[in-house]
DNA sequence: CCTCGGTAGCTTTAGACAGCATGTC
DNA sequence: CTAAAGCTACCGAGG
């Protein structure tokens, strides 16, 4: 089918596509058009990666926009939202406006409602629905990318419920669901009342197979010699062979450590294939990588990149990942060893894909579990760049002949699994039942069950009772925690229930937070403890005054609050390593007075384990909020820069929720919670909060200013400019901007010289001392560097 | 004394959404 | 129901 023959599409589109080199539709695209995607028909397209799904979505969205409606494109990842929006911006020249909305990014300029095409994550769409976004009623078309993720036990239910709500709210809404090839695309189509295109067609050839011994065994029965030769590993030999042909390779492994070790090995191969120009470019890239973060992770990555290889996993900072992905697309980095981050993320195709590890540790299963066929096929799908590679090749690695045969049966010739809804689980229903009632989607138990009856789960289950049973359990839980009220069949959300729904936290997190804040420190009058009065000194004069006003509950400490939000189901747990149990059990005892709520006993195994794991997270957050540098934190907790950022972000979000809940319930500690949140947000100690609130002043600059005697925003306005300039290490432009942001009358630095007496020595920064800066436990003694941070420690002792 | 290689035993284990209001070194 | 790679400490041989 030619693009000129597509009905319903705006008239400028065929020419635009022709300019892009698209004259003829791919077979699955043509089939989608025949089923009416461009004329408002709902459709499930179950097709391989890179077989033109995006164009199918565009045909649907553009014809919807052309007939006066809006289109919504739902993505599973924030990073994908940006990528998709950039693709759709090609249509802005025809007057189609595009907006993005994710948790950390909102389209600038006009309000979302004025956009024709909106790209958002499923959670953000859910949240927008909960918060009453009006433009939803103008939607004509919704595209759901990677719908097979409804199978995901954590995030799948959100997508499932959100699609259900959109369909219920907007009559005749066109739903275009794009899926990887799955075992039961027909069931998805049934659920969405949609037409089905189920195809395995690909624009470029993908050969799959297994490498065993000295040869690549391919799915068409052929073999291709590929000797391991002098190489250490099969993957190294494959990378070498691919490079001989000018291609790049993606190697999937099952752990971060494996990714790093593999990258180091592959770098020995890739370095042999670099020319002088590439070496120079890679040196520059390595320097950029080191610049991103001062951690071992960052250094190791740079070392590999200098030699033309890289690793990729969630411990990397976002900038790291972006740099690596971009360099790989530019063919500068020749091989990447990656965890599954890369299989699901932004588009990074390679000539060859190697799935080195096909089993992954699963604690619940008690050992290594084989990857799903669907997951392996997703990795395979990264092989072959349309228009650039002549073909793609994806292989698994076998050690034995038996394994060779097993891998062929298990993955090469196997059909992907069926997608199964995970909705009927308490954690999922807890949040969605509350939101469904709070937003008025359902006002009765019957109405709620009717709504749930339209979900994928209901169409798939052979135990219809189960959904009802779990729903009743969840309703009881929500009522018990005062988020919901029941009156016979009637359901209504309480004020706090509404708030919890809008804040988008798990009701169980909210309940834990509320309980912790209400009960307060587990030991009475924590601040009157053992003379080490570290906790009260965090409080400002006005707070102490407030306490004198008859409120005799001590405020929770930041550490107590960090622990509280860290033990919430919304905070991903940090692993306890060997020795950690003892270390954090000791910390739990030392800081017992600060911890909020009832501590579990050491004999309640699972709870105690969670308690300690949360304590580890809390300590990390406290270190961050005590200006400990990234490098030390990464080393101390065995995490990467990406993990630190992730924890901090989640803590910020949950502490914001805690603050709002405290205010709503009149708990009085909202200001203390706010300060704890600000400290995590800025990564500073109490005394820098004011300074770090000035734009362009972060934890480092604030500390330097403070050490130079400038302790507040007001000081900054009246400060001697030469002192400010010296504290900011002589950066005139920065100093001007900072003064301007602080509200200085005349920020100009013209004619000002840095004050030679002001020492901007970074060692003046507070180092590794922990926030209480007092107890001399062995574990801390070694990190207390002589003389560091004297100026500020006084405030804590 | 140092280096290299081999090995036994121990340790560790993927990912990433959301609120709100604006911005690091 | 189900593990395995990588790292470390250690040993012995060779230079």
Question: Which tens digit of pLDDT belongs to each residue from A531-546?
Answer: 444 444 444 444 444 4
Find the range with the poorest average confidence among A61-75, A605-619, A744-758: A744-758
User: How many Å does it take to go from CA A221 to C1' B25?
Assistant: 57
Write the DSSP symbol of residue A408.
I
Is residue A623's pLDDT more than 60? Answer: yes
Please report the pLDDT score of residue A781 as a whole number: 33
User: How many Å does it take to go from CA A76 to C1' C8?
Assistant: 41
* β-sheet with A174-179: strand ranges across: A105-106, A98-102, A117-121, A70-75, A139-144, A174-179, A43-46, A195-198
**Strand B-contacting residues in A 268-327, CB cut-off 7 angstroms:** 313-315
Please report the pLDDT score of residue A745 as a whole number: 85
- For helices A605-624 and A580-590, what crossing angle results, to 10°? 80
**Could you give the CA distance from residue A467 to residue A619 in angstroms, rounded to a whole number?**
40
pLDDT band of A797, cuts 50, 70, 90: very low
User: How many Å does it take to go from CA A21 to C1' B23?
Assistant: 40
Find the Cα–Cα–Cα–Cα dihedral A349, A353, A357, A358, rounded to 10°.
90
Is residue A757's pLDDT more than 70? Answer: no
CA A651 to chain CA centroid, nearest Å: 13
CATH topology of domain A507-685: Sec63 N-terminal domain-like fold (1.10.3380)
3-state secondary structure of A426: helix
**Could you give the CA distance from residue A651 to residue A683 in angstroms, rounded to a whole number?**
12
A446-465: average pLDDT: 95
CATH topology of domain A688-765: DNA polymerase; domain 1 (1.10.150)
CATH topology of domain A206-412: Rossmann fold (3.40.50)
Query: What average pLDDT does chain A have?
Result: 89
Give bridge partners of residue A24 from the DSSP assignment. Answer: A2
Q: So where are chain A's domains?
A: 3-198, 206-412, 426-503, 507-685, 688-765
Same fold, A206-412 and A507-685: no
Is residue A45's pLDDT more than 70? Answer: yes
**Could you give the CA distance from residue A727 to residue A735 in angstroms, rounded to a whole number?**
9
Residues with CB under 7 A from strand C: A 257-258, 260-262, 357, 359, 361, 365-369
**Could you give the CA distance from residue A608 to residue A50 in angstroms, rounded to a whole number?**
47
- Asked whether residue A234 is marked as a ligand-binding residue, the answer is no
Dump pLDDT digits (tens) for A93-131.
999 999 999 998 877 666 888 999 999 999 999 999 999
A333-358: average pLDDT: 94
Instruction: Give residues with Cβ within 8 angstroms of A388, minimum separation 6.
Output: none
CATH of segment(s) A3-198: 3.40.50.300
Structure tokens at A493: 């959300």
Task: Name the nucleotide with the smallest C1'–CA separation from A356.
Answer: C5
Closest CA to A500 of A566, A572, A571, A439: A439
Q: What are the Cα distances from residue A340, in Å, to A252, A377, A379, A408, A460?
A: 7, 12, 8, 21, 28
**Strand B-contacting residues in A 212-271, CB cut-off 7 angstroms:** 254-257
A214-243: average pLDDT: 93
Closest CA to A160 of A431, A464, A366: A431
Is residue A779's pLDDT more than 60? Answer: no
Dump pLDDT digits (tens) for A435-455.
999 999 999 999 999 999 999
Dump pLDDT digits (tens) for A570-606.
999 898 988 899 899 999 999 999 999 989 988 887 8
% of residues, chain A, pLDDT over 70: 91
Q: Is the CB of A413 under 7 A from strand B?
A: no
Is residue A7's pLDDT more than 70? Answer: yes
Nucleotides of strand B under 7 angstroms from a protein beta carbon: 10-25
Write the DSSP symbol of residue A26.
-
User: How many Å does it take to go from CA A67 to C1' B15?
Assistant: 39
pLDDT band of A387, cuts 50, 70, 90: confident
The H or E element spanning position A335 is strand A335-338
A160-177: average pLDDT: 97
**Strand B-contacting residues in A 672-731, CB cut-off 7 angstroms:** 677, 682, 694-702
CATH of segment(s) A426-503: 1.10.10.10
Please report the pLDDT score of residue A538 as a whole number: 44
Place of tokens 């697309």: A329
């Amino acid at each position: 089918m030619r693009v000129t023959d597509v009905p319903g599409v705006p008239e400028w589109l065929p020419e635009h596509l022709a300019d892009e080199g698209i004259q003829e539709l791919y077979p699955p695209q043509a089939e989608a058009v025949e089923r009416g995607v461009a004329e408002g028909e709902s459709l499930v397209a179950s097709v391989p990666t890179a077989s033109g799904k995006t164009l199918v979505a565009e045909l649907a969205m553009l014809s919807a926009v052309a007939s006066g409606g809006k289109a919504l494109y739902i993505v599973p990842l924030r990073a994908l939202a940006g990528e998709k929006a950039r693709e759709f911006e090609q249509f802005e020249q025809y007057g189609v406006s595009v907006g993005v909305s994710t948790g950390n990014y909102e389209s600038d300029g006009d309000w979302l409602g004025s956009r024709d095409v909106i790209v958002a994550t499923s959670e953000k769409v859910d949240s927008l629905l909960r918060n009453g976004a009006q433009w939803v009623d103008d939607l004509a078309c919704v595209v759901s990318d990677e719908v097979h993720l409804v199978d995901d036990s954590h995030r799948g239910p959100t997508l499932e419920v959100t699609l259900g709500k959109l369909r219920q709210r907007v009559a005749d809404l066109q739903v275009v669901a794009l899926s990887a090839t799955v075992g039961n695309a027909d069931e998805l189509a049934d659920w969405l009342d949609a037409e089905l295109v189920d195809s395995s067609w690909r624009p470029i050839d993908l050969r799959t197979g297994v490498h065993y011994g000295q040869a690549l065994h391919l799915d068409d029965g052929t073999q291709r010699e590929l000797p391991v030769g002098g190489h250490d590993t099969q993957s190294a030999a494959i990378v070498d062979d691919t490079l001989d042909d000018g291609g790049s390779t993606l190697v999937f492994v099952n752990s971060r450590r494996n990714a790093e070790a593999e990258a180091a090995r592959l770098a020995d191969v890739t370095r042999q294939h670099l020319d002088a120009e590439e070496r120079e470019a890679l040196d520059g890239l390595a320097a950029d990588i080191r610049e991103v973060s001062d951690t071992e992770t960052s250094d190791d990555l740079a070392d590999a990149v200098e030699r033309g290889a890289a690793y990729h996993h969630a411990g990397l900072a976002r900038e790291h990942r972006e740099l690596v992905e971009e360099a790989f697309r530019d063919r500068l980095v020749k091989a990447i060893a990656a965890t599954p981050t890369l299989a699901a993320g932004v588009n990074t195709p390679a000539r060859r894909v190697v799935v080195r590890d096909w089993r992954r540790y699963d604690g619940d299963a008690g050992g290594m579990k084989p990857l799903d066929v669907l997951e392996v096929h997703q990795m395979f799908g990264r092989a072959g760049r349309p228009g650039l590679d002549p073909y793609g090749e994806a292989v698994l690695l076998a050690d034995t002949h038996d394994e060779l045969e097993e891998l062929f049966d298990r993955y090469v010739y196997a059909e992907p699994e069926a997608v199964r809804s995970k909705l009927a689980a308490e954690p999922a229903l807890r949040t969605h039942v509350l939101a469904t009632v709070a937003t008025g989607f359902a006002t009765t138990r019957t109405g709620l069950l009717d709504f749930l009856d339209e979900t994928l789960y209901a169409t798939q289950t052979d135990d219809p009772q189960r959904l009802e049973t779990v729903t009743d359990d969840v309703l009881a839980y929500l009522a018990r925690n005062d988020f919901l009220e029941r009156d016979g069949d009637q359901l209504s959300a309480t004020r706090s229930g509404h708030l919890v729904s809008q804040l988008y936290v798990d009701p169980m997190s909210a309940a834990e937070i509320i309980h912790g804040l209400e009960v307060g420190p587990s030991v009475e009058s924590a601040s009157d403890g053992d003379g080490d009065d570290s906790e009260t000194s965090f409080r400002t004069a006005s707070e102490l005054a407030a306490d004198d006003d008859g409120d005799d509950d001590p405020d929770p400490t930041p550490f107590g609050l960090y622990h509280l939000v860290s033990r919430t189901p919304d905070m991903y747990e940090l692993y306890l390593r060997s020795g950690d149990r003892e270390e954090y059990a000791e910390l739990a005892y030392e800081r017992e007075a600060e911890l909020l709520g009832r501590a579990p006993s050491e004999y309640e195994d699972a709870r105690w384990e969670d308690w300690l794991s949360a304590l580890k997270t809390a300590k990390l957050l406290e270190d961050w909020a005590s200006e400990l540098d990234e490098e030390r934190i990464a080393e101390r907790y065995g995490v990467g820069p990406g993990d630190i950022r992730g924890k901090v972000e989640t803590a910020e979000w949950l502490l914001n929720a805690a603050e709002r809940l405290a205010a709503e319930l009149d708990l009085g500690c909202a200001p203390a919670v706010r300060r704890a949140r600000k400290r995590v947000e800025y990564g500073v100690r109490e005394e820098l909060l004011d300074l770090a609130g000035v734009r362009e002043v972060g934890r480092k600059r604030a500390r330097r200013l403070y050490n130079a005697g400038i302790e507040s925003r007001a000081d900054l306005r009246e400060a001697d400019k030469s002192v400010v300039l010296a504290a900011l290490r002589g950066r005139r432009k920065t100093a001007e901007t900072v003064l301007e942001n602080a509200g200085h009358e005349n920020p100009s630095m013209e004619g000002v010289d840095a004050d030679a007496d002001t020492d901007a020595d970074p060692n003046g920064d507070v180092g590794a001392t922990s926030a209480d800066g007092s107890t001399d436990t062995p574990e801390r003694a070694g990190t207390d560097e002589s003389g560091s941070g004297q100026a500020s420690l006084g405030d804590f002792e």
